[in-house]
Structure 1
């Protein structure tokens, strides 16, 4: 090794020694041994100003070297590194390598558990739920973000003024966005004075029916109400912010329905055709709703919420042949 190379290594080691009392990399969000329900951010604090690059390894998948030493980067992010991770469901082993030039300064590790909404029961007891909006976390963000917004700011429908959108806008980058989320009306559902801060104090039908009371009244008039609706569990099927699917569904229609009605997959549905298969439920345009342009699915024949006849037929007719005649009118 040349003298210049040796000098560089020595200089790097001296920097490491000077910062040994403080870890070069600290996990801000999520905290080590915590669980989260969104795969949105990994925020790290770089305590050593000499760090030039960071490489992140999640469950053995190693990312590219991230350069963090340019004046432009430091001006924008100071001593923070903010990336969007791709968590695997369940336990995630995260290794972060910090470099000073070509010398690895430190490796920091953390275990993060990812449990999307509805899977919280799977979280092992050694992982604690990480809640970001706490004073000790928010204090790190005040230089760039409004962490104590006024009522006017919190109710603003302008992207630049609304304090929530700076961090949470990406959840709206989907095809079908729920109305209040699309107008940045976050505080309609999330309450600043709640405990924890910005919690949703009501869930499912108790909250949804404050706006959708017409739907609640409509369902109440029906003789048969679909189980999730009868239980007031709107969020079992619908994402309150938005999704890639029609009506903010958490999955495509058939996939969502068959997640509960799995037996339908195993036998021909409704009739057995000359090919030995059942009536098609996908793969062609929906003749019952030609103007919508949507694909045939379970909801072509069944109302997913309620009906006056068993099986929630869309035309509310007891005679099954009348249902067939919605499309087969000859």
Structure 2
């Protein structure tokens, strides 16, 4: 008798839970006509020099999912019908899809919203006609910002801009003023509060040159490093502060390999040049610009001789360099613009699978000039 009674009680409990679950689902379900999804900022087709931005929108759903190039990347709760999510993406064209997620059982499609972001340091003018330049921030807090952020708009005149900025940008609080020893610098020195017209790719408008005006000459040299040419100083430098020397975003070698991925594998070869293995790319390459090939700090011969002193390394024997080959070469060698032999004609400056960093694996390569050695 007791077992039957317990079974009845258990069955009633299970039925109550099922009914409660269904009731909650029905309460949370929005009718198809009542559903809405809208991205407030940014607009549908934008271009930007930045690889991150904020998505703000409104929806009837309690949760949204963010898909970047068809990959689910973020899931965010909605507050008072407003959602906000900072997103990160790569260079090139990115499709960002916002999908509404409802807790109830829905047998019809839920609304999506899509924007396209063209990201990169140099975007051609013809593409900007379609993907208009965009910046997230402006000087007037919008109504949908105030519902989440206490902008203290009534006291703006009595508050320093640093205090205002750090109320939202808390992650920059520790790094603030580490960029410069001058502590009275404020955020607006670099960040114009109305950023809607600012284009960092325009040299004249780049905020870095407000202080570093001596670096404008970088753009007049023959060989300019890609990020510098695009005016994207912050690809390598953290503008707020860093634990690395020269306010770098990361150690030198990690920064270099971020773009020059194919070179990283060269560290696995049999013979590796010491500066390359130890991560000192800057010993040979200027990270900004030079008048030398491969953005070298000096011409290739001077770079090599900076460590390999000819009086020591070549005391007993030295192959001629800065001279033209006397005869036609059997194999192609790297020559200078004047057609002369240099260290790099025979040696790879990074690594090889041969001894002495030799590029040449063909035993007959030298015979083009040294016929008597055959």
Q: Give the TM-score category using the shorter length.
A: 0.5 to 0.7
Where do 1:1-330 residues align within 5 Å? 15-16=30-31, 20=33, 23-36=35-48, 37-46=50-59, 48=60, 51-62=61-72, 66=76, 68=78, 77-89=79-91, 90-103=93-106, 107-121=110-124, 123=127, 125-133=129-137, 138-143=142-147, 144-146=149-151, 150=156, 153-156=159-162, 161=163, 163-168=164-169, 178-179=179-180, 185-192=186-193, 196=196, 203=203, 207-212=207-212, 227-228=223-224, 233=229, 235-237=231-233, 238-239=236-237, 241=239, 246-249=245-248, 253=252, 277=271, 279-284=273-278, 295-297=279-281, 299-304=282-287, 311-313=296-298, 321-325=305-309
Unaligned 5+ segments in structure 1 are 69-76, 269-274, 285-294
In structure 1, the partner of 2:332 is: none
SS at match of 1:235: coil
Give the RMSD, CA atoms, in angstroms.
Answer: 5.5
Comparing 251-260 and 236-245, the one that deviates more: 251-260
Which residue does the alignment assign to 2:345?
none
CA positional deviation for 1:3: 7.0
Q: Any conservation in 2 of the 1:240–1:248 contact (CA below 8 Å)?
A: yes
TM-score by length of 1: 0.56
Kept in 2: contact 1:301–1:323 (CA 8 A):
no
C-alpha spacing 1:155/1:60, structure 2 compared with 1 (3 Å): closer
Instruction: Say which SS state the counterpart of residue 120 (structure 1) adopts.
Output: coil
The 1:45–1:258 alpha-carbon spacing in structure 2 relative to 1, beyond 3 Å, is: closer
CA displacement, residues 196-219 of structure 1 (integer Å, 9 cap, x when unaligned): 3677797469743432356679x8
**CA drift at 1:26:** 1.9
| 1:16 Cα deviation from its structure 2 partner | 1.8
1:214-264 residue CA offsets vs partner (Å, 9 max, x unmatched): 6679x8xxxx957439xx8583454462579753457764677799999x9
Q: What is the number of equivalent residue pairs in this alignment?
A: 281
Q: C-alpha distance in 2, partners of 1:78/1:181? A: 42
Unaligned 5+ segments in structure 2 are 1-14, 316-374
Structure number, greater radius of gyration? 2
Residue 372 of structure 2 is matched in structure 1 by none
* 2: CA distance, partners of 1:152 / 1:133: 21
User: 1:141: Cα distance to partner?
Assistant: 1.3
1:24-80 CA-partner distances (Å, limit 9, x unpaired)? 32212333334443324332323x3xx444344443334686555xxxxxxxx4332
Measured against aligned partners, the alpha-carbon deviations of 1:116-146 in whole angstroms (never above 9, x if no partner) come to 3414339575433444345897232134242
Task: State the distance in 1 between where 2:133 and 2:290 align.
Answer: 40
Taking structure 1 as reference, are residues 324 and 166 closer, same or farther at Cα in structure 2, changes over 3 Å only?
farther
CA distance in 1, matches of 2:216, 2:70: 48
How far apart in 2 are the matches of 1:258 and 1:226?
Answer: 23
CA separation of 1:202/1:87 partners in 2, compared to 1, >3 Å: closer, same or farther?
A: closer
Q: Secondary structure at the match of 1:146?
A: coil
Q: 1:186 Cα deviation (Å)?
A: 1.9
Given that residues 26 and 104 in structure 2 are in contact (C-alpha distance below 8 angstroms), is that contact kept between their aligned partners in structure 1? no
